[in-house]
Chain A
Amino acid sequence: MNLCKICFKEIEEDSFHSFLFKDAKICHSCFLKFKPVLRKFKVGEVSCYHLYFYDEEVQKQVYQFKGCFDIELAGVFLDYFRTYLRLKYFGYVLIPAPSSKEADEERGFNHVIEMFEPLGLKMIQCIHKTKNIKQSDLKANERHKIKEHLTIDNVNLTKKKVLIVDDVYTTGSTVKAMIDLVKTKNPKKIKVLVMSKTKDL
């Protein structure tokens, strides 16, 4: 018996969706509430994909996951895209967006790593935050300063295909700063995948 992680109802077995998506963590109706889009957008010259828009329902679940430390929700967001993304990004190396040590310790886990774990790709945690600041506390015109607080470890990324991942994309400052840092290591290819993106105003 499989229970939906969000609405706690039983996920129907032998149904069409359970045939297509084996071992789903949430039921299909809860998934549709996220309003999946999988849309392409560009950051500079790098192509990015986002799965959802950061609207009410996604916001609520992200808050429960990140803010209330509900680790059971970790696999929920990528669940129905898992197989597709695994094929799409075959052979890539994941670089998760950094979060400060203090926040991770308080939470008990790193939310980005937990969220993108189901892809089963190799993960290199090489970018770190040196100062504990939250992007969401800052105003839009202050966010680009994140550049000064990010550092990259001395790792060998040459001839590797790199996929930068993050949970929420708002102004793109973090992602832009990460792309600049990764470029200094001369990888073969850079792509970006974010879980959700705030709607353009």
Chain B
Amino acid sequence: MFVCERCGNSDPRYIGIRNGKEYCRFCIGFKGEMVKSLKPKAGAVVMDLKYKLSKEQADIARKVKENFLNGIDTLIDAVCGAGKTELIYEVIACALSQRKTVAFAVPRRDVVIELVPRIQSTFPHNSVVSVYGGHTSKLAGDIVVLTTHQLYRYPHMFDLIILDEIDAFPFKDNELLIAMLRNASRGRIIMMSATPSDEIVKEFSGDKHCILHLDTRFHRKPIPVPKVIISFGFTKYYVLIRNLQRFCKENKQVFVFCPTIDICEKVYSVISKIVKEGNLVHSKKIDRSQIIDDFKKGNYKYLVTTAVLERGVTIKDLQVIIFGADHDLYNEHALIQISGRVGRKYDAPEGEVLFLADKTTVAIERTISTIKKKNESLQNML
């Protein structure tokens, strides 16, 4: 029977025949240089953390490390802005000191670009390599930070794979990417998410698996609860503009999320005439990393955006407005992720999240109740 070397597929549906030879059609779109072998550097690992972990974070980080040493796969269920990335530095250091290969996989390339400098500054003496579509010149390093699409290059090579944002598109429900993840691993997998799906939770409830919860942000302030503003039709624009102007006066930067690219462009064309110094970011925009950089420097007062900035973005003192939060595309997970963009820094732990909608939906109600529940458990702890 034919089994694909790259993705482990043996389903006869996905097998084609070319000149009498069988080939896999499942992963055929992934064409590129494969890595022959990864050799981690020997030597002491220096971990340079510029801040101290909170007590809860330190606890979880230690448990993750123990699980890794005992051969247990871990799922970390931590709220947005809890400092998930910091939790796994210890286990990375541990794996590196044992000369094991480490990968940090994320579904989105924007998040990869953002993560690399953070990890590099924590491990200054190790080589951190980023691999994503269009940036594949260097493939081997001590820590490989890559998009999940690039995992096919490393069959059975990683002793430790850390997978962040598991419920994000395109990794979610993508059989091919999940198969490639399994194929790239020869050791342990650590998954992280703020909003794990029921299937993942079920998978990690079994033997040799472990779920760790972290319900507080590292600064121990409650997560901002979204405010729902009901308004119809064009009055939404009025509410949006008024709130934008208010935030601009207070010198706060704002993300305006829209469900689709079309709505995004429409909204921007309207509000840019009244509120200046903004810009537009969506997945079709070529220079989007440049715009996001400019935004971080403070050149823009607001950004109108789609789901591209839904995850993995940390900006100081950010406010969020969702335009049309009752849209079908916004499920509970997406709304929680977007609300989690607010108040992620020590010196700015608060902020406002506004949902503009025609009506409240089940997703909106569940988002608010989930956030309130997490905040209550924080109150009990303090």
| A57 at the B interface (CB under 8 A) | no
| A67-B16 in contact (CB<8A) | no
Q: Could you tell me the distance in whole angstroms from the C-beta of A187 to the nearest C-beta in chain B? A: 33
User: Which of A3, A64, A67 has a CB less than 8 Å from the CB of B13?
Assistant: A3
| B37 at the A interface (CB under 8 A) | no
Please, how many angstroms separate the alpha-carbon atoms of A6 and B322 in the complex? 36
| B13-A108 in contact (CB<8A) | no
Number of interface residues of B (CB under 8 A): 11
User: Which of A8, A68, A108 has a CB less than 8 Å from the CB of B31?
Assistant: A68
Q: Could you tell me the distance in whole angstroms from the C-beta of B288 to the nearest C-beta in chain A? A: 19
| B242 at the A interface (CB under 8 A) | no
| B25 at the A interface (CB under 8 A) | yes
B-chain residues with CB within 8 Å of residue A108 when the two chains form the complex: 18-19
| A69-B18 in contact (CB<8A) | yes
Report if A72-B25 is in contact (Cβ < 8 Å); known contacts: A3-B13, A8-B13. Answer: yes
Counting contact residues on chain A (CB < 8 A from B), the size range is 10 to 19
User: Which of B13, B19, B28 has a CB less than 8 Å from the CB of A68?
Assistant: B28
Does more than half of chain B's interface fall in helix, strand or loop, or is it mixed? mixed
| B28-A64 in contact (CB<8A) | yes
Report if A72-B19 is in contact (Cβ < 8 Å); known contacts: A64-B29, A67-B31. Answer: no
| B169 at the A interface (CB under 8 A) | no
B18-56 contact mask (Cβ, 8 Å, vs A): 1 or 0: 110001010011010000000000000000000000000
| B29-A68 in contact (CB<8A) | yes
A-chain residues with CB within 8 Å of residue B19 when the two chains form the complex: 71, 108-109
A-chain residues with CB within 8 Å of residue B25 when the two chains form the complex: 70, 72
Report if A109-B18 is in contact (Cβ < 8 Å); known contacts: A3-B13, A8-B13. Answer: yes
B-chain residues with CB within 8 Å of residue A67 when the two chains form the complex: 31
B207-245 contact mask (Cβ, 8 Å, vs A): 1 or 0: 000000000000000000000000000000000000000
B-chain residues with CB within 8 Å of residue A64 when the two chains form the complex: 28-29
| B346 at the A interface (CB under 8 A) | no
Q: Could you tell me the distance in whole angstroms from the C-beta of B2 to the nearest C-beta in chain A? A: 14
Q: Which B residues, 279 to 310, have Cβ-Cβ distances below 8 Å to chain A?
A: none
| A71-B16 in contact (CB<8A) | yes
B-chain residues with CB within 8 Å of residue A68 when the two chains form the complex: 28-29, 31
B-chain residues with CB within 8 Å of residue A69 when the two chains form the complex: 18, 23, 28
A32-76 contact mask (Cβ, 8 Å, vs B): 1 or 0: 000000000000000000000000000000001001111110000
A-chain residues with CB within 8 Å of residue B13 when the two chains form the complex: 3, 8
Q: Could you tell me the distance in whole angstroms from the C-beta of A41 to the nearest C-beta in chain B? A: 29
A-chain residues with CB within 8 Å of residue B29 when the two chains form the complex: 64, 68
Q: Could you tell me the distance in whole angstroms from the C-beta of A102 to the nearest C-beta in chain B? A: 17
A-chain residues with CB within 8 Å of residue B17 when the two chains form the complex: 71-72
Please, how many angstroms separate the alpha-carbon atoms of A3 and B15 in the complex? 12
Please, how many angstroms separate the alpha-carbon atoms of A129 and B31 in the complex? 27
Report if A70-B28 is in contact (Cβ < 8 Å); known contacts: A108-B19, A109-B19. Answer: yes
Please, how many angstroms separate the alpha-carbon atoms of A185 and B211 in the complex? 76
Q: Could you tell me the distance in whole angstroms from the C-beta of A92 to the nearest C-beta in chain B? A: 28
Please, how many angstroms separate the alpha-carbon atoms of A72 and B23 in the complex? 10
Q: Which A residues, 70 to 112, have Cβ-Cβ distances below 8 Å to chain B?
A: 70-72, 108-109
B-chain residues with CB within 8 Å of residue A8 when the two chains form the complex: 13-14
Please, how many angstroms separate the alpha-carbon atoms of A68 and B23 in the complex? 11
Least CB separation from B30: chain A residue: A68
A-chain residues with CB within 8 Å of residue B18 when the two chains form the complex: 69, 71, 108-109
A-chain residues with CB within 8 Å of residue B23 when the two chains form the complex: 69
Please, how many angstroms separate the alpha-carbon atoms of A69 and B31 in the complex? 10
Least CB separation from B27: chain A residue: A68
Please, how many angstroms separate the alpha-carbon atoms of A64 and B31 in the complex? 10
Q: Could you tell me the distance in whole angstroms from the C-beta of B312 to the nearest C-beta in chain A? A: 27
| A72-B16 in contact (CB<8A) | yes
Q: Could you tell me the distance in whole angstroms from the C-beta of B208 to the nearest C-beta in chain A? A: 32
A-chain residues with CB within 8 Å of residue B31 when the two chains form the complex: 67-68
Q: Could you tell me the distance in whole angstroms from the C-beta of A121 to the nearest C-beta in chain B? A: 23
Q: Could you tell me the distance in whole angstroms from the C-beta of B94 to the nearest C-beta in chain A? A: 40
Least CB separation from A4: chain B residue: B13
| A70-B16 in contact (CB<8A) | yes
Please, how many angstroms separate the alpha-carbon atoms of A69 and B29 in the complex? 10
Please, how many angstroms separate the alpha-carbon atoms of A69 and B16 in the complex? 11
Please, how many angstroms separate the alpha-carbon atoms of A109 and B14 in the complex? 20
Please, how many angstroms separate the alpha-carbon atoms of A109 and B13 in the complex? 22
Please, how many angstroms separate the alpha-carbon atoms of A108 and B18 in the complex? 8
Please, how many angstroms separate the alpha-carbon atoms of A68 and B28 in the complex? 6
Q: Could you tell me the distance in whole angstroms from the C-beta of A56 to the nearest C-beta in chain B? A: 12
Please, how many angstroms separate the alpha-carbon atoms of A67 and B28 in the complex? 10
Query: What are 6 residue pairs bridging A and B, where the CB atoms are less than 8 Å apart in the complex?
Result: A3-B13, A68-B29, A70-B16, A71-B16, A71-B17, A72-B17
Known pairs A71-B19, A108-B19; list 5 more (Cβ under 8 Å). A68-B29, A72-B16, A72-B17, A109-B18, A109-B19
Listed in ascending order, the chain B residues whose CB lies under 8 Å from chain A are: 13-14, 16-19, 23, 25, 28-29, 31
Listed in ascending order, the chain A residues whose CB lies under 8 Å from chain B are: 3, 8, 64, 67-72, 108-109
What 5 pairs between A and B have smallest CB-CB spacing? Answer: A72-B16, A71-B18, A68-B28, A108-B19, A70-B28
